[in-house]
Each structure stands twice: as structure tokens, then as C-alpha cells.
Amino acid sequence: MTQIIDLRSDTVTQPSKGMLDAMFSAKVGDDVFGDDPTVIELEEKAVTMFSKEAALYCPSGTMTNQIAIKVHTKPGDELICDESSHVYRYEGGGIGFNSGASVRLINGDRGRITAQQVLENINPDDIHFPVSKLVVAENTSNRGGGSCYEFVELKKISEACKENNLKFHLDGARLFNALTETGETTSDVGQIFDSISICLSKGLGAPIGSLLIGGADFIKQARRIRKVFGGGMRQVGYIAAAGTYALENNISRLNEDHQKAKIIGQTLQSCNFVKEVLPIETNIVVFKLIDIIKNTDFLETLKENNILAVGFGPQTIRMVTHLDFTENMLDDLILTLKSF
Ligand SMILES: *Cc1c(COP(=O)(O)O)cnc(C)c1O
């Protein structure tokens, strides 16, 4: 069988032998009754890592984000985020559907907003306007091509939120990719956000699962909303075990994914079918094709060569490196790209 090089996302990984062993040997109980020791262990691990009070294991990052928005806002409130944010673009209109909240979009720099922009977009206390309640930052930014926030800017946004009585939520689906590059600790991150969502199923390689982390009262409310959303699960320790395994084994290797992404980027720079490569900061490669090549045609050509990627807007392609993308696959990919 020919080997498929799947770079559509860092969610396409298969659980490793070690991860499967951890899953099969997990001790489980009914987590809706709070009886699953493996889930408790994972949630406690997240609490310790981020120096927060409590955590909640959920089926997806969409759910952790949507629960956070639901707890932090009420209908008619407004949240502030970049226009390319996952919470706004890729969660099926969930902000309106689940929370009845309004959204103030900021045109940030590759997905990153500034404290100044936040301050400029907080509504005055006037009955005409929605009540500004929440800021959401995404780090790394997916549509920003895996761009990382500078920690000082996040800290400034955090201060702006505190001064204006707003909550600050982190969509950290790929937070560990960001921390790998910028060097802050999870504890540093815990200090500036009211709530944090991390995905175990992206670069960390677990098959399923995300964590929502925050204060005790926040998580108590979040647990109720998770049940309402249908996310209360029973002997879920079998998959939570994969999450603990991922946190223990798959963070320190993320720099390998970043290194491979950089090499792909360098190769693309020298390809005549490429117009522009976005700066590569982590494991996401986004590039634009020259005008005469159609996005869909290019993806088809890649596919004929057993390479999978995704379209990411007009003339734009995204490739994401991950732990199942090997050195050999990288070599094959480079040869193929150079042959076009
Ligand atoms: C993948 C992703 C999520 C969550 O996605 P799920 O597929 O629901 O787990 C949230 N935010 C960002 C930036 C993501 O890339």
C-alpha cells in the first residue's frame, strides 16, 4: 500500500502503542457521578500545570470554548475577538446559538489582537450597546498560520480586562506549540486568564478530548453546562488516559514538528508555483499559489502524489505537521514539491 502523507491537520494522528496501553489499562468509573479516577487524575494534572483551581474534561475544543463563553456571558452581552477566531468562524455559530451573545470582531495581525484594540472596542455603559463581557485570544492562531502571541501583549490584555470588568478566555487548542517557541510556563499562562481551553487531540496526539481550566466556581458552572450540552460522559477514563499520556509524553517533541514545518516552508519559497509563504512560527504552513493555479487543481495534484492538504481561502493552502509525519515523509514531500 502506498503511504499517504496526511498534512490536512494535526488531528489526523493515530494513538501510539504506549498511548493505547495506557488507555486499555485505565481504571474507570462513572464520571457523571464523579467516580472516574483516570478523569480525576487528568483534571488534577491540568490544575497543577496551570496553577488554577479546577478543570473539566470535555469531548472537544469546540465544547470547552462554547462552555466558557456560555458561563462568562448572558444573552445580549458581547465578546471581543479577532475576526479569524475559531470561536467565531469554526464553531457553527455557537456563540449566538448557545449563548445569545453578540461578537465584536477585531482585524488583528495574523489572528492576534492587542490590548489597545481591546480597549478601543469595549462599549461604554450606554443602553444602546451590548455589554462588553469577554475577550477571547487564540494562541497559536490557526488562521494566522500558527502565529504566537507575545506574552507581554497577553498580559496587557489581561490588565485591560481586569480594569474594565471583562473576563479573559484563552482558546489554547495549540497552546503548547506556542509555549514551545516563546518559553513561558503553563503557570504563567494560568495567571493571566480566567479560563483556558487546551486540546489533547491536536499536536499532542490523543484521539479525543479537551480540557477547560479555571477557577472553582467557574468550573462548577461549566460542569453543569457540559451536562446540558450533552457532554457528560460515563466510563470516559478510557480516553482520558490518552490525554494524561499525551501531556506526559508528547509536549517536549513539538519542536520536531516546528522544525519540519520550517523545512517545508523553505522548500516552498523556492517553488515557482508559490506566490507567498506566511511566516512559519510553529507547526502550520500556509502559502499562496500564483494566480494561474487554482487551489482545487493544486490539491488534486497533491492527492495524485499521495499528499493531503486543505484549502484555506482563495489561492491558499494549509499544511500542518504532527507526530505521525515522519522524517521519511518529509523527504518524500520535499522531492515531490521540487518536482512540480
Ligand atoms: C481545533 C481547534 C479547536 C477545537 O476543535 P475541536 O475539533 O472541536 O476539538 C478550537 N480552537 C482552535 C484554534 C482549533 O484549531
Ligand 1, closest atom to CA 138?
Answer: 13
Q: Ligand 1, atom 2: nearest CA belongs to which residue? A: 173
Euclidean distance between CA atoms 134 and 123, whole angstroms: 12
- What is the predicted pLDDT for the residue at 1? 62
| Class of the CATH domain delimited by 17-249 | alpha beta
The pLDDT mean for the chain works out to 98
147 lines ligand 1 (CB under 6 A): no
Q: Does the pLDDT at position 283 exceed 80?
A: yes
138 lines ligand 1 (CB under 6 A): yes
Ligand 1, closest atom to CA 201?
Answer: 9
Q: SS in 3 state form for the chain?
A: CCCCEECCCCCCCCCCHHHHHHHHCCCCCCHHHCCCHHHHHHHHHHHHHHCCCEEEEECCHHHHHHHHHHHHCCCCEEEEEECCCHHHHCCCCHHHHHHCCEEEEECCECCECCHHHHHHCCCCCCCCCCEEEEEEEECCECCCCCECCCHHHHHHHHHHHHHCCCEEEEEECCHHHHHHHHCCCHHHHHHHCCEEEEECCCCCCCCCCEEEEECHHHHHHHHHHHHHCCCCCCCCHHHHHHHHHHHHHCCCCHHHHHHHHHHHHHHHHCCCCEEEECCCCCCEEEEEECCCCCHHHHHHHHHHCCEECEECCCCEEEEECCCCCCHHHHHHHHHHHHHC
Distance (Å) from CA 252 to ligand 1 centroid: 21
The residues, any chain, with a CB within 8 Å of residue 219's CB and separated by 6 or more, are: 53, 54, 55, 56, 212, 213
Is residue 151 within 8 A of residue 188, CB to CB? The reply is yes
Tens digits of residue pLDDT in 18-46: 999 999 999 999 999 999 999 999 999 99
Q: Is the whole model's pTM more than 0.95, yes or no?
A: yes
Tens digits of residue pLDDT in 44-76: 999 999 999 999 999 999 999 999 999 999 999
Domain 17-249 in the same topology as domain 5-12+253-339: no
Q: Does the pLDDT at position 2 exceed 90?
A: no
Distance (Å) from CA 9 to ligand 1 centroid: 11
Domain boundaries, the chain: 5-12+253-339, 17-249
207 lines ligand 1 (CB under 6 A): no
Q: Taking residues 301-309, report their average pLDDT.
A: 98
Distance (Å) from CA 339 to ligand 1 centroid: 34
State which of 58, 62, 65 you would mutate to test the pocket of ligand 1, scoring each by most atoms of that ligand within 8 A of its C-beta: 62
Of the chain, the percentage scoring pLDDT greater than 90 comes to 99
62 lines ligand 1 (CB under 6 A): yes
Is residue 287 within 8 A of residue 274, CB to CB? The reply is yes
Distance (Å) from CA 257 to ligand 1 centroid: 18
142 lines ligand 1 (CB under 6 A): yes
Distance (Å) from CA 173 to ligand 1 centroid: 6
Tens digits of residue pLDDT in 192-227: 999 999 999 999 999 999 999 999 999 999 999 999
Pick 5-12+253-339's CATH classification: 3.90.1150.10, 3.40.50.2000, 3.40.1170.60, 3.10.100.10.
3.90.1150.10
Q: Taking residues 275-298, report their average pLDDT.
A: 97
Tens digits of residue pLDDT in 143-182: 999 999 999 999 999 999 999 999 999 999 999 999 999 9
89 lines ligand 1 (CB under 6 A): no
State which of 81, 89, 90, 198 you would mutate to test the pocket of ligand 1, scoring each by most atoms of that ligand within 8 A of its C-beta: 90
- What is the predicted pLDDT for the residue at 303? 98
Q: Taking residues 4-12, report their average pLDDT.
A: 98
State which of 86, 148, 170, 239 you would mutate to test the pocket of ligand 1, scoring each by most atoms of that ligand within 8 A of its C-beta: 86
